[in-house]
Chains A and B, each alone.
Chain A
Amino acid sequence: MASNPPPKPGDPVLLDIRDLRIEGESEDVWSPIVKGVSLKVKRGRVLGLIGESGAGKSTIGIAGMGYVRGGCRFTGGEIWFDGVNLRTLNERQLDRMRGNRVSYVAQSAAAAFNPAWRLMDQIVEVALIHGVMNRAEAERRAVELFRKLKLPEPETIGRRYPHQVSGGQLQRAMTAMALAPRPDLVVFDEPTTALDVTTQLDVLAAIKEAIEDEGAAAIYITHDLAVVSQIAHEIMVLRHGETVEWGPTEEIISRPKKPYTQALVSLRAFRKEEAPPAPPAPLLSVEGVTAAYGGAVTVLHDVSLALETGKTLAIVGESGSGKSTMARVVTGLLPPVSGAVRFAGAALPPRLKDRTKDQLRDLQLIYQMPDVAMNPRQTVEEIIGRPLTFYFGTKGAERARRVHQLLDQIELPRALATRLPTELSGGQKQRVCIARALAAKPKLIICDEPTSALDPLVAEGILRLLVGLQREEGLSYLFITHDIATVRAIADEVAVMFKGRVVRSGPLETALAPPFDDYTDLLLKSVPEMTPGWLEGALASRRMEGAGQ
């Protein structure tokens, strides 16, 4: 690699990173984050960087701008951008280039915009600082980009403040900000990860069209292979700071060579085994529940659901659909305005404090963010052991034995019992939360998006574990999620929620099969697939429906 002559200015290879090495510091210990990665981005082409968290994909992406985050340092390699090695430039020279020739789109647009400034002021700022345009030109350019990115009211939207536009629109505004000075390279760092699936589709399409139109090269960082396959010409798979595989998108998707890539591609093929037919035994039924926060904002309208023993009911919906509120009503954290919840043949008292210890024990919860669901000052043994002591009075050696049993059940080594939650990985944390729920020997576990904060492969492991436990222990799950693939993998029954109402419900086979209602149709069509050209197809079908209406 080193024998290759460096690219000259004007070379078709715009960005040429060679043997990049970056270290990160934690408590005075420097450890490698990026271990010798080389990549090339040609002008007007999109390179997708994919990998789980900790793979170093964001670090490599921003290294393309000659930048490392605080607490990190370059230890080797060259970053050739348009014939210049960025590592040889000083801060002033880099500043002149950043935002101008290379720009960056962050994951959270909400955190990247200054809430006290109007959108337009922030978008023209870069162009003005670098002196490439005057104010009037820059504003004309911004409006042109708003139009390209299909923002509503492109002439006037720039006068709004960040909180006056939706999350998807803000993400598009940030893309406009990045594209405004006509950069040669744009680094997108998970720009659609925080968005709802139906919004993600729009933003993805807008970004794709805009960069094609502008002829800019891009690095697109994500953990979702389906998303990256729609937008990138080439894909690089990263793991533990090293390149696993690098090739054209079609090749990676259809003929992955390395086992890790194969696992990523075949992900979501997992399906729960068909359970043997059993006599119906209703466990939980929600009857005509209406719930409101603060007595004013009604978030659930007359919702009814039913779940049988040993089955999984998946509640699907986007943010704001009321699916998490449903969980709060069932657990007794939010007493409903009207309606009732029946559990195992008896009415559940609406308030938490009126419920008996057995009613509490029968109903356990697994949270979305395992980091905040466990007390950071308690060891794994204390976390799992507390329900044992609290509900069953198990103490001492017997308790330690049960904790070890539970650790075996959730497939974690027993040695982890003495660790604190901060010393565990994301997947391990979620497993400990599952063990804590299991320790209470519940009949029903409410899972509130337990896999959405985890990397795909880790999430699949958690789903397999949950399904296995259901078979062994005869558990029932109320599974709240926004991810259709997860529903397909584990649900027996499905309820689709939209704006506080159940718009569709029934067994998995019929609920997610045509004919659809409008919303379910939109939801299903928005789930990214790896098939080339899927994005255009999905958009076309959406446009046709829009025209037909």
Chain B
Amino acid sequence: MTDAPASAAAAVAAVPPKRTAWRRLRKAPFTAWFGFAVILFYAVLALFAPAIAPHGESQTFDIPYDVWAVEPRLVWADLGPLSLPYWLNFEATGSMHWLGTDQIGRDMLSRLIYGARNTVGIALVTTLLAFFIGGTLGILAAVVGKGWFEIVLNRAVDVLMAIPSLIFALMLLSTFGSSLLNLVLIIAVLDATRVFRLARAVAMNVAVMEYVEAARLRGEGLAWIMRKEILPNVMPPLVAEFGLRFCFVFLTIAALSFLGVGIQPPLADWGSMVRENATLITYGDITPLLPAGAIALLTIGVNFVVDWFLNETSGLRDGQ
């Protein structure tokens, strides 16, 4: 029997839930804190882009591919057959633009900042929509249970998942035209299939609980059972999935933009910024890696937070 933890658990039960949440957060590892800081930084950039950015989003200047205001330069040591970098020099170049300009002379730094707003904002909206569609249908399928509704939904999802999503998205976007609305809708529907699978699987475990049966016996409607009895109990895995899914959507949009069917110019977007400036790589200029780095940093930050959250919720499950 569960003799051991019972009395200890009783002692903790008196602690109000809010304080334990704060204590957990304070105990979070460095990686989680780093993740939170990154997300906060991006959120501030996205929200206050016009105030922070030195220039306008699509404002063009005379010099395309202008250099950085301060150029880092490696100093090489000549060791006969071998030469090694041993020092990093910073040289002022006289450029007006901190990170230079792009292929038609737009300020790179400003576009990076506006890019946070567009790329992250659109990814967030898309993910939310995907979770609304997939989550609702998944929980509904679990509650309704075996029957034609579940069969039709499951097979439809199977069909959508059978086609590689990036290629499918490319095809749909070229069919319907790459407007912002189409982009959001198509990616949301494609990603909703994955959310559906997860939501249905976890909701099925909850739907067989006796408190759900008690609600059915009371005569409660579908909406109540889904919203009040099931949703609160499937939140932890869904929130964790939200973090991961957000990264995937974000990368998909960047990939589509890189391929030219995603977010359209003149809107600044990290994916298309990589593509537009890709030629610079050939000349040893790392400017095109900056938007790629911005994508990578946010992805890592979000994943750190998700990892920590998953750890916390699974730890809770052990204790119960």
A524 is an interface residue with CB less than 8 A from chain B: no
Interface size on B, residues (CB 8 A): 33
B82 is an interface residue with CB less than 8 A from chain A: no
Given the interface pairs A352-B216, A422-B320, the reply to whether A31 lies near B210 with Cβ below 8 Å is no
Chain A's nearest CB lies how many Å from the CB of B95? 55
A33 is an interface residue with CB less than 8 A from chain B: yes
Contact call A26/B9, Cβ cutoff below 8 A: yes
Contact call A241/B214, Cβ cutoff below 8 A: no
- Determine the chain B residues whose CB is within 8 A of the CB of A57 once the complex forms: 3
Contact call B218/A53, Cβ cutoff below 8 A: no
**What are 23 pairs between A and B in contact, CB < 8 Å?**
A26-B5, A26-B8, A27-B15, A30-B8, A31-B8, A32-B7, A33-B3, A53-B1, A57-B3, A240-B7, A331-B217, A333-B217, A355-B219, A364-B217, A367-B210, A372-B210, A374-B211, A375-B229, A377-B232, A378-B232, A387-B218, A391-B218, A436-B214
In the complex, which of the residues B10, B11, B218 contacts A425, with contact meaning CB atoms closer than 8 Å?
Answer: B10
Q: Which of B198-224 contact A (CB under 8 A)?
A: 209-211, 213-214, 216-220
Q: Which of A41-82 contact B (CB under 8 A)?
A: 53-59, 69, 71-72
Contact call B220/A390, Cβ cutoff below 8 A: yes
B13 is an interface residue with CB less than 8 A from chain A: yes
Contact call B210/A71, Cβ cutoff below 8 A: no
Given the interface pairs A26-B12, A373-B211, the reply to whether A440 lies near B218 with Cβ below 8 Å is yes
CA distance A419 to B16 in the complex (A): 9
CA distance A364 to B215 in the complex (A): 11
Contact call A26/B217, Cβ cutoff below 8 A: no
In the complex, which of the residues B2, B7, B217, B228 contacts A31, with contact meaning CB atoms closer than 8 Å?
Answer: B7
Contact call B217/A376, Cβ cutoff below 8 A: no
Contact call A26/B319, Cβ cutoff below 8 A: yes
In the complex, which of the residues A59, A360, A364 contacts B3, with contact meaning CB atoms closer than 8 Å?
Answer: A59
CB < 8 Å A-B pair total: 106
Contact call B217/A365, Cβ cutoff below 8 A: yes
Report, nearest first, the 10 A-B pairs whose CB atoms are least far apart: A26-B8, A377-B232, A54-B6, A423-B13, A24-B8, A360-B219, A58-B3, A373-B210, A375-B211, A31-B8
Given A53-B3, A355-B219, A373-B214, 8 further pairs, Cβ under 8 A: A24-B5, A27-B20, A32-B7, A54-B3, A58-B1, A352-B216, A360-B219, A378-B228
Contact call B1/A107, Cβ cutoff below 8 A: yes
CA distance A223 to B1 in the complex (A): 10
- Determine the chain B residues whose CB is within 8 A of the CB of A189 once the complex forms: 1
Binding site for B on A (CB under 8 A): 24-27, 29-33, 53-59, 69, 71-72, 107, 189-190, 223, 240-241, 331-333, 352, 355, 357, 360-361, 363-365, 367, 369, 372-378, 386-387, 390-391, 419-420, 422-423, 425, 436, 440
Q: Which of B296-320 contact A (CB under 8 A)?
A: 319-320
- Determine the chain B residues whose CB is within 8 A of the CB of A223 once the complex forms: 1
Question: In the complex, which of the residues B4, B7, B15, B211 has the most CB atoms of chain A within 10 Å of its own CB atom?
Answer: B4
Q: Which of B225-267 contact A (CB under 8 A)?
A: 228-229, 232-233
Main secondary structure of the interface of B (DSSP, over half): helix
CA distance A268 to B315 in the complex (A): 40
Give the nearest-CB partner of A367 in chain B: B210
In the complex, which of the residues B3, B12, B232 contacts A56, with contact meaning CB atoms closer than 8 Å?
Answer: B3
Contact call A59/B4, Cβ cutoff below 8 A: yes
CA distance A374 to B181 in the complex (A): 43
Q: Which of B272-286 contact A (CB under 8 A)?
A: none
- Determine the chain A residues whose CB is within 8 A of the CB of B218 once the complex forms: 360, 386-387, 390-391, 440
Question: In the complex, which of the residues A54, A355, A367, A422 has the most CB atoms of chain B within 10 Å of its own CB atom?
Answer: A54
Give the nearest-CB partner of B2 in chain A: A53
Give the nearest-CB partner of A27 in chain B: B12
Give the nearest-CB partner of B17 in chain A: A420
- Determine the chain A residues whose CB is within 8 A of the CB of B12 once the complex forms: 26-27, 29
CA distance A333 to B14 in the complex (A): 38
- Determine the chain A residues whose CB is within 8 A of the CB of B20 once the complex forms: 27
Chain A's nearest CB lies how many Å from the CB of B241? 18
Contact call B233/A375, Cβ cutoff below 8 A: yes
- Determine the chain A residues whose CB is within 8 A of the CB of B6 once the complex forms: 53-54
In the complex, which of the residues B8, B213, B220, B320 contacts A33, with contact meaning CB atoms closer than 8 Å?
Answer: B8
- Determine the chain B residues whose CB is within 8 A of the CB of A387 once the complex forms: 218
Give the nearest-CB partner of A24 in chain B: B8
Q: Which of B1-52 contact A (CB under 8 A)?
A: 1-15, 17, 20
- Determine the chain A residues whose CB is within 8 A of the CB of B5 once the complex forms: 24, 26, 71
CA distance A468 to B1 in the complex (A): 31
CA distance A375 to B13 in the complex (A): 17
CA distance A313 to B2 in the complex (A): 33
Give the nearest-CB partner of B27 in chain A: A28
Give the nearest-CB partner of A60 in chain B: B3
Chain A's nearest CB lies how many Å from the CB of B177? 44
Chain B's nearest CB lies how many Å from the CB of A220? 14
Give the nearest-CB partner of B229 in chain A: A375
CA distance A440 to B4 in the complex (A): 37
Given the interface pairs A190-B1, A372-B209, A376-B233, the reply to whether A54 lies near B214 with Cβ below 8 Å is no
- Determine the chain A residues whose CB is within 8 A of the CB of B228 once the complex forms: 375, 378
- Determine the chain B residues whose CB is within 8 A of the CB of A423 once the complex forms: 13-14
Q: Which of B58-84 contact A (CB under 8 A)?
A: none
Contact call A24/B13, Cβ cutoff below 8 A: no
CA distance A331 to B218 in the complex (A): 10
Contact call B211/A372, Cβ cutoff below 8 A: yes
Contact mask B167-208 → A, CB, 8 Å, 1/0? 000000000000000000000000000000000000000000
Given the interface pairs A24-B8, A26-B8, A26-B12, the reply to whether A352 lies near B217 with Cβ below 8 Å is yes
